[in-house]
Amino acid sequence: MRLLPKEEEFFNLFIEVATRAEKAAELLQQMFTSHDRAAYCAEAIKKLENEADGITHEVVNRLDRTFITPIDREDIHLLASDLDDVIDRIDGTARRAQIFRLGAAPPGIAELCTIIRSMTAEIAQAVRKLRGKDDVMRHCVEAKRLEEEGDALYHQMLGKLFDTEKDAIQIIKWKEIYDILETTIDEGEDVANDIESIVLKHA
């Protein structure tokens, strides 16, 4: 029996946010590949983002009232914040797509969404295993590999957009979408780095 028990609920809250980010990434991919589902996907993503915000606030509130934490306080705060940033960026992409009233996506958009979906799946797996720290690093390494793949694809497809699109307004709109997708991938790498740091610190 512990006199000063550690609060373990943080792991469950991390899983809740990571799971919502994974689902939001799936919906984002659908949004750009099934145009008739775009409005539904955008609203579903917003709902998931709102839920993730609530869970992230619960992490912060719990941190304020917990005496002993299972991992360092600064790591809890950073991981919660960076996980929330990922789903915020996904929601931001969906919002922009709705505002811009975009048509068919140019080459590369679907592929970048696939990378984001794969990355959020790896992150979710890493978060689910974080409590036991077993086999976590493999998922972090794969998430970081996906970031490198996404970065290369972003530059390649952005160059292609400027080479092939003649409408300046369309270039502005799609460049912003490309930029937010690339930032989302970067945010995913930040989460992988956070998790990797936690595992190494507590090995």
| CATH T-level assignment (fold) for domain 9-201 | Methane Monooxygenase Hydroxylase; Chain G, domain 1 (1.20.58)
**Helix, strand, coil shares, percent, the chain, to 5:** 85, 0, 15
- The residue extents of the domains of the chain are 9-201
Cα separation, 113 vs 27, whole angstroms: 10
Q: What is the pLDDT of residue 25?
A: 98
Q: What is the pLDDT along the chain (203 residues), one digit of tens a residue?
A: 344 456 668 999 999 999 999 999 999 999 998 888 899 999 999 999 999 999 999 999 988 888 788 889 999 999 999 999 999 999 999 999 999 998 889 889 999 999 999 999 999 999 999 988 788 999 999 999 999 999 999 999 999 999 999 999 999 999 999 999 999 999 999 999 999 999 998 87
Q: What is the pLDDT of residue 7?
A: 63
Work out whether the CA dihedral 179, 180, 185, 191 comes out positive or negative.
positive
Residue 203 DSSP SS3: coil
Task: Go through the chain and tell me how many residues it has.
Answer: 203
Question: Is the separation of the CB atoms in 112 and 182 below 8 Å?
Answer: yes
Q: What is the pLDDT of residue 103?
A: 85
Whole-prediction pTM value? 0.92
Cα separation, 193 vs 185, whole angstroms: 13
DSSP assignment of 29-73, as one string?
HHHHH-GGGHHHHHHHHHHHHHHHHHHHHHHHHHHHH-SS-SS-H
CA angle 25, 29, 33 (to 5 degrees): 170
CA angle 150, 165, 145 (to 5 degrees): 5
